[in-house]
Chain A
Amino acid sequence: QVQLVESGGGLVKPGGSLRLSCVASGFSFSDYYMTWIRQAPGKGLEWVSVISNSGKYIYYADSVKGRFTTSRDIAKNSLFLQMNSLRVEDTAVYYCARGDWVFQSWGQGTLVVVSS
């Protein structure tokens, strides 16, 4: 059974940093692209970043480019999102999802609150 478990969210001040993690199980992690998607409170879904199965290709939304870095550790079946220079508008639930085209499996999400 596919399982994705995010962690690392919390309260951070504007300009601060956080590193989110997503641990995958139940499938061959090295075979899949992985994606970060976020959802601000009461708002819609926003695609954030995708990383290829090998980690060679990474794409970002313009809203996070230059501030966020996506990586993966295949040995640990883990996906990461390093978030720097955080802004109030980055406040959201962050989901990791399996895939690149469509997202069949999602984690439960981790809440990031950026506030002074």
Chain B
Amino acid sequence: AIQLTQSPSSLSASVGDRVTITCRASQGISSALAWYQQKPGKAPKLLIYDASSLESGVPSRFSGSGSGTDFTLTISSLQPEDFATYFCQQFNSYPRSFGQGTRLDVK
């Protein structure tokens, strides 16, 4: 099974900051990676798929990059509504798997 390791596990930042979250796969997964945002008590929301494709309706301040084993999610200028938990997910093979999550909170 492919394991995904996110770093950092938690992150404190301020509105306007540029933030980068990393996801590392235990083996190569090409570009078969997605990113989700989850707010408390809510289902996750898809942000990025195929490592770098922006889901429709997601603000352009979100971007993704990477391929193989190393991936990043970048928020170019944090907005108040971006404080949440972020998960990466691989769809290269079964079982699908998620990273452990990165909690982004207000500094």
Contact = CB atoms under 8 A, between A and B. Distances in A.
Q: Interface size for chain B: under 10, 10 to 19, 20 to 34, or 35 or more residues?
A: 20 to 34
Interface stretch (B17-25, B64-72, B76-84, B91-99): B91-99
Nearest to B97: A47
Contact of B46 (A46, A62, A95, A102): A102
A44 B98 contact: yes
A45 B44 contact: yes
B64 to A, nearest CB: 12
Interface residues of A, number: 20
B87 A45 contact: yes
Residue with the greatest number of chain B CB neighbours at <10 A, chosen from A62, A102, A108, A109: A102
Contact of A45 (B46, B49, B98): B98
Nearest to B95: A61
Nearest to A108: B43
Contacts of B94: 50, 59
Contacts, number: 51
Contacts of B99: 44
Interface of A: 35, 44-47, 50, 59-62, 95, 100-104, 106-109
25 contacts: A35-B96, A44-B98, A45-B36, A45-B38, A45-B89, A46-B98, A47-B96, A47-B98, A50-B96, A60-B95, A61-B95, A62-B95, A100-B91, A101-B32, A101-B49, A101-B91, A102-B34, A102-B46, A102-B89, A102-B91, A103-B34, A103-B46, A103-B89, A104-B46, A107-B43
Interface of B: 1, 32, 34, 36, 38, 43-44, 46, 49, 55, 87, 89, 91, 94-101
